[in-house]
Structure 1
Amino acid sequence: MTMPKQQTTPRAPAAAGAGPAAGVRLGDVAVRFRSKKRDVTALSDVSLDVAPGEFVAIVGPSGCGKSTLLKLVAGLLTASSGDVLLGGERVTGPRHDIGYVFQRAALLEWRSALRNILLQAEIRRMEPAVARARADELIRMTGLGGFEDAYPHELSGGMQQRVALCRALLHEPPVLLMDEPFGALDALTREQMNTELNRIWRTTGTTVLLVTHSISEAVYLADRVVVMSPRPGTVTEIIEVGLPAERDYSETLGRPEFRAAAAHIRDLLGAVSGHD
């Protein structure tokens, strides 16, 4: 089955005050590791262009290098060959301007939700008044109002991830990297977080790269889905989803574009029908 090529839906302008989004480019990137026993090629000949403000999801089998790809963009790893650019600039070391959300919220247990969010401001030495205003805006945006003074053990898993998302977005990063951020959540909470993330992305206009094992999550959230091969990871195909930017969850899952894209990705991954 061959998916028809479709134009990516143009993004709505970012909200007032939001930082400018940045594009990401990987050109013929390879990553090789050497150990005492053997050499391992994690990524091979990976090329990808992500437009400013675009939402791109990355799926593939375990161990194919999805998280490695995010670390390259963040400057936490150096490519063995090829080029990695963010906003037109070559990535040569850790990028402190990006946002990064991991599978676990990694909140400090002795700090309230608000103070966990503002930890970002302390590290970056942001102007306190500006940081607090931005934190208040994000708290409203993510539905955390009334929980500012709650500690992590008083928050559900989904609310902890909302705090982590607020923390990552506090400095208005041009690119947000998300590494399986909702994988530990129950199915209903994960759906709610998907809906929230879609709304936040449309509001902020930030460029997003999401790694996920969930095909439905990838198709629901993204403009395009990058399907990767088993190790050494390379790009098997890039699927244009063709859905409007604003997406009602249940309605979107019933759309023919959603079903066609999800089915094609399952075919590419060799997934058993009915499994995510």
Structure 2
Amino acid sequence: MAEKTLRTPRADAGRQPSAAESSTAVGLDAVQVRFRTKKKDVTALRDVSLGVASGEFVAIVGPSGCGKSTLLKLVAGLLRPSSGAVRLHGEDVTAPRPDIGYVFQRAALLEWRTVRRNILLQAEMRKMSADHARTRAAELIEMTGLTGFEDAYPHELSGGMQQRVALCRALLHEPPVLLMDEPFGALDALTREQMNVELNRIWRETGTTVLLVTHSISEAAYLAGRVAVMSARPGTVTEVIDVGLPPERDYTDTMSRPEFRRATARIRTLLGAASAAD
């Protein structure tokens, strides 16, 4: 069990962020997370500091068990740090945040609901205006290439299409920050490449701040403007690499660019040859 647990939201939303903080969508400052088991105390994250600017795409890579998913839970407010601070747009994260979107490795769609109704589940949970939600869902369905499948059920969709539905659901309420936890890990290589291209396009069109956890070095370098490389447990950010590529990226061309090769080579050096999939 985590040493610090969730708390109810504060009556006071907290201090007003400064101009500099407002431009930072996600901020982690000297964050530590410690867990207590029956036998010992375990430090999952140690002294993690990272800033993500509004509209930026940052990927996080690291060995299994280093705390990458734990870091996303901290940003979402699903877990409290043992020490240090986590902020969204300058405001301390003290409880689950309604202003984020979250995409997991599995699409987790409801089998008895159609594509459209799976997407609109977000609206029902958040009590959004029905008219606005339907309009927004239609926009996202078109944006993600799901037009014609609005009334299909999950078992009628490929894995890649199911993940597109999950992405639409996460973006329905137009969150300023999107958290993605290995969202394409279960897909075959070709579908994963296609989803990478789609995600790059959607990110450029929406301007959403994205924090992506992945085990794939090439995926991280293709999608992100910067890649945060984490150490083995207790996880900490060992280096943040500036990929140095333009936001709009052709997949095949990007793979051959010197900036991409330099970034992936540096990530491999930091992780070790066997630490991450490519």
Aligned pairs for 1:117-266 within 5 A: 117-266=119-268
In structure 1, the residue corresponding to 2:273 is in which secondary structure? coil
Aligned pairs for 1:91-102 within 5 A: 91-102=93-104
Structure 2 stretches lacking a partner, 5+ long = 1-21
For residue 229 of structure 1, report the CA deviation from its aligned partner: 0.2
Inter-partner Cα distance in structure 1 for 2:168 and 2:179: 13
2:55 maps to 1:53: yes
For residue 119 of structure 1, report the CA deviation from its aligned partner: 0.3
Picking from 42, 45, 49, the partner of 1:43 is 45
Structure 1 stretches lacking a partner, 5+ long = 1-19
For residue 90 of structure 1, report the CA deviation from its aligned partner: 0.2
Inter-partner Cα distance in structure 1 for 2:189 and 2:49: 33
Q: How big is each residue's C-alpha offset from its partner over 1:83-115, in whole Å with a ceiling of 9 and x where there is no partner?
A: 000011000010111000000000000000000
Q: Contact 1:22 / 1:207 at 8 angstroms: preserved in 2?
A: no
Q: Which residue of 1 aligns with 2:28?
A: 26
Counterpart code for 1:257: E
Question: TM-score when scaled to structure 2?
Answer: 0.91
Q: How big is each residue's C-alpha offset from its partner over 1:59-79, in whole Å with a ceiling of 9 and x where there is no partner?
A: 000000000000000000000
Q: Contact 1:219 / 1:225 at 8 angstroms: preserved in 2?
A: yes
Inter-partner Cα distance in structure 1 for 2:276 and 2:72: 28
In the superposition, relative to structure 1, how do residues 21 and 199 fare at CA in structure 2: closer, same or farther (>3 Å)?
farther
In structure 2, the residue corresponding to 1:23 is in which secondary structure? strand
Shift >6 Å, 4+ stretches: none
Inter-partner Cα distance in structure 1 for 2:144 and 2:201: 9
Inter-partner Cα distance in structure 1 for 2:276 and 2:27: 34
Higher relative contact order (Cα pairs below 8 Å, separated by 6+ residues): 1
Q: Contact 2:215 / 2:277 at 8 angstroms: preserved in 1?
A: no
Inter-partner Cα distance in structure 1 for 2:245 and 2:260: 8
Q: Contact 2:120 / 2:134 at 8 angstroms: preserved in 1?
A: yes
Inter-partner Cα distance in structure 2 for 1:275 and 1:153: 29
Q: Contact 1:57 / 1:218 at 8 angstroms: preserved in 2?
A: yes
Q: Contact 1:21 / 1:175 at 8 angstroms: preserved in 2?
A: no
Question: TM-score when scaled to structure 1?
Answer: 0.91
Q: Contact 2:76 / 2:100 at 8 angstroms: preserved in 1?
A: yes
Q: Contact 2:63 / 2:275 at 8 angstroms: preserved in 1?
A: no
Root-mean-square deviation (CA), in Å? 1.4
Q: Contact 2:31 / 2:82 at 8 angstroms: preserved in 1?
A: yes
Inter-partner Cα distance in structure 2 for 1:210 and 1:218: 8
- Counting matched residue pairs gives 257
Inter-partner Cα distance in structure 2 for 1:243 and 1:103: 26
Inter-partner Cα distance in structure 2 for 1:212 and 1:272: 15
Inter-partner Cα distance in structure 2 for 1:97 and 1:116: 19
For residue 275 of structure 1, report the CA deviation from its aligned partner: 5.3
Picking from 70, 86, 89, the partner of 1:87 is 89
Counterpart code for 1:234: T
Counterpart code for 1:76: L
Inter-partner Cα distance in structure 2 for 1:272 and 1:173: 36
In the superposition, relative to structure 1, how do residues 273 and 250 fare at CA in structure 2: closer, same or farther (>3 Å)?
farther
Counterpart code for 1:62: S
Q: Which residue of 2 aligns with 1:6?
A: none
Q: Contact 1:22 / 1:175 at 8 angstroms: preserved in 2?
A: no
